């Protein structure tokens, strides 16, 4: 009887050994293959979305900070009144004050070829700061649109918590630029999304600054950027005159705070933060196998 038991145990042992010899390498190979795939997806996500979004967020943060310094006369070599005229010229193709932003007709001068060419020439030098400000904001909206689409398509390898944390921080900037619901000075979320869509061309490529400048003079077509252009226009205290200065204490101040938070999180997420590896213990932010 003992011999039969020994034979059975030996048989079972041989089966287990055979299965182990076959299964362990297959399991290990599958594990390595999944790690390689996840690493490849993470590198793609980091290069195509997170690094570019962080760069755009930093540019917008720096530009909003610079505008605040100009309008609060912290930059003695910049004239805030002239800066206001520059933004008006891009919107109206005229540096004259705007009595009522709601009844203004920016199309009138856009119909004049000589006027369009004159302003287009000035954009490359005299209006460069104002023009690049519009482009920096529009480019940020485009990269937000691309990143949101990426996070919702399921091809990223972030944990659910990290994907939500990133989405929340992006949304915080959007809501900050929108401002309070009862004040019509900010940029509506729908307009931010619309501008982001317009800025994305074939192959998910973001429009270049050269292409953006040309689009500002398309008739029709430029109207799609109206909310972006009027956001940076400031006037005096006349009734119905749109104002930029109050936004530095509300929409822009809150947007700067949220952009700093987004930038810090993207540093942590992409491994650019010096404390990243200490906090995670592995070199990319998805669930370790």
Give the whole-angstrom CA distance, residue 210 versus residue 57: 20
Question: Has residue 20 got a pLDDT over 70?
Answer: no
| pLDDT band per the 50, 70, 90 thresholds, residue 179 | confident
Give the whole-angstrom CA distance, residue 276 versus residue 259: 19
**Contact yes or no for 55/263 (Cβ under 8 A):** no
Q: Where are the alpha helices (DSSP H) in 46-127?
A: 51-71, 80-92, 107-110, 113-123
DSSP string, the chain: -HHHHHHHHHHHHHHHHHHHHHHHHHHHHHHHHHHHHHHHHHHHHIIIIIHHHHHHHHHHHHHHHHHHHHHTT-STTS-HHHHHHHHHHHHHSS-S--S-TTT--THHHHT-HHHHHHHHHHHTTTTHHHHHHHHHHHHHHHHHHHHHHHHHHT-----HHHHHHHHHHHHHHHHHHH--TT-TTS--HHHHHHHHHHHEEGGGEEPPHHHHHHHTT-TTTGGGGHHHHHHT----SSTT---SGGGGGTHHHHHHHHHHHHHHHHHHHHT-STTHHHHHSSSSSS---
Question: Has residue 6 got a pLDDT over 80?
Answer: no
* pLDDT, position 159: 85
Report in angstroms the alpha-carbon separations of 142 from 57, 63, 137, 163, 167. 11, 17, 9, 19, 15
Q: What is the pLDDT of residues 123-140, one digit of tens each?
A: 988 999 999 999 999 999
Give the whole-angstrom CA distance, residue 138 versus residue 230: 13
Q: Between residues 158 and 11, which one has the greater pLDDT?
A: 158
Phi, psi of 151, deg, nearest 5: -70, -25
Q: What is the pLDDT of residues 60-114, one digit of tens each?
A: 999 999 999 998 888 778 888 899 999 999 999 999 988 877 788 899 899 899 9
Sign (positive or negative) of CA dihedral 204, 208, 213, 217: negative
* pTM, full prediction: 0.81
Question: Has residue 213 got a pLDDT over 90?
Answer: yes
Looking at the DSSP bridge assignments, the partners of residue 200 are 206
Buried b (16+ CB within 10 A) or exposed e, 61-95: bebbeebbebbeeeeeeeebeebbbbbbbbbbbbe
Q: What is the pLDDT of residues 230-241, one digit of tens each?
A: 899 866 445 554
Structural domain boundaries in the chain: 52-280
């Amino acid at each position: 009887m003992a011999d039969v038991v020994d034979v059975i145990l030996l048989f079972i042992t041989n089966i287990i050994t055979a299965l182990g010899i076959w299964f362990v390498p297959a399991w290990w190979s599958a594990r390595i293959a999944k790690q390689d795939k996840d690493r490849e997806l993470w590198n793609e996500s980091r290069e195509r979305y997170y690094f570019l979004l962080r760069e755009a967020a930093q540019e917008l943060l720096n530009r909003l900070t610079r505008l605040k310094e100009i309008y609060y006369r912290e930059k003695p070599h910049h004239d805030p009144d002239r800066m206001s005229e520059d933004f008006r010229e891009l919107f109206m193709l005229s540096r004259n004050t705007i009595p009522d932003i709601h009844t203004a007709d920016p199309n009138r001068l856009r119909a004049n070829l000589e006027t369009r060419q004159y302003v287009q020439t000035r954009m490359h030098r005299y209006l460069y700061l104002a023009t690049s400000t519009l482009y920096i904001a529009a480019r940020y909206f485009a990269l937000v649109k691309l990143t949101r689409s990426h996070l919702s398509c399921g091809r990223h390898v972030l944990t659910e918590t990290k994907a939500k944390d990133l989405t929340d921080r992006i949304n915080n900037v959007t809501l900050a630029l929108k401002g309070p619901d009862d004040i019509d000075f900010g940029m509506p979320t729908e307009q931010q999304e619309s501008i982001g869509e317009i800025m994305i061309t074939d192959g998910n490529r973001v429009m270049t600054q050269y292409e953006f400048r040309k689009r500002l003079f398309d008739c029709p077509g430029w109207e799609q950027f109206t909310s972006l252009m009027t956001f940076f226009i400031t006037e005096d205290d006349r009734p119905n005159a749109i104002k930029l200065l109050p936004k530095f204490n509300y929409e822009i101040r809150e947007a700067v705070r949220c952009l700093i938070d987004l930038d810090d999180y993207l540093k942590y997420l992409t491994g650019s933060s010096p404390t990243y590896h200490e906090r995670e213990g592995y070199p990319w932010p998805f669930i370790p196998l």
